Amino acid sequence: GAGVSQSPRYKVAKRGQDVALRCDPISGHVSLFWYQQALGQGPEFLTYFQNEAQLDKSGLPSDRFFAERPEGSVSTLKIQRTQQEDSAVYLCASSLGAGVDEQYFGPGTRLTVT
Amino acid sequence: GDSVTQMEGPVTLSEEAFLTINCTYTATGYPSLFWYVQYPGEGLQLLLKATKADDKGSNKGFEATYRKETTSFHLEKGSVQVSDSAVYFCALRGGGYQKVTFGTGTKLQVIP
């Protein structure tokens, strides 16, 4: 079956621009996660949704970062007024239940801010 | 807070050599432990996991044992192949929490 998909795969933005990154989780998966992976580092947690409810946004680095999942399926991570330090790969993951199930990762969106 | 420390790479081995990638962790409670693998051009995949002390996770010839007394979860494989070349991430999920905390990754290169 289809896995987690993300779009676009690559995004170049000029500093100060707003960007929107999309995640399509595996159909029927209740939980959705966003992670940020800087070059040469491991992924770092940004935020977590259970259906449409954002239950944990403790990892969002600033109020320029905003995520939503309005219908409990597709999610969008928005970054306003992008800065160079926002350059990273943004990973989306989903899991079947609301418990501690395996997380399935998408291929990521590589954001480069120039 | 939770943290994971793993050995820095890159690690270069000849085919059929023995592999060990060290991983230690700091966490409150009783975390679940994971090894993820990222092959070139692909997304993160779960390689193996262990959910309680003394559990051994294994998959594709890789194994790791959850050692609570040493807070470690070292990854081992008896005979590596060129196709094992990838970046390996040790990770944990704290008890009762959803988010996964990752190490910085260890790049493995296996040469024929």
How far is the alpha carbon of B2 from chain A, nearest alpha carbon, in Å?
Answer: 12
pLDDT by residue (tens digit) across A4-29?
Answer: 999 999 999 999 999 999 999 999 99
Whether residue A41 and residue B45 make contact (CB cut-off 8 A), yes or no, is: no
pLDDT band for B96, please (50, 70, 90 cuts). Answer: low
Answer whether residue A1 shows pLDDT above 60: no
What's the mean per-residue pLDDT of chain A?
A: 94
* Closest among A16, A60, A97 to B98, alpha carbons compared: A97
* Closest among A88, A77, A80 to A112, alpha carbons compared: A88
Residues from chain A that touch B107, judged by Cβ atoms under 8 A, are none
Strands A109-113 and A10-13: parallel
pLDDT band for A2, please (50, 70, 90 cuts). Answer: confident
- The DSSP-derived string for A48-109 is EEETTEEEE-TT--STTEEEE-TTSS-EEEEESS--GGG-EEEEEEEESSSSSPPPEE---E
- Assess B89–A contact: CB distance below 8 Å, yes or no: yes
Which amino acid type is present at position A100? V
- Assess B106–A contact: CB distance below 8 Å, yes or no: no
pLDDT band for B97, please (50, 70, 90 cuts). Answer: low
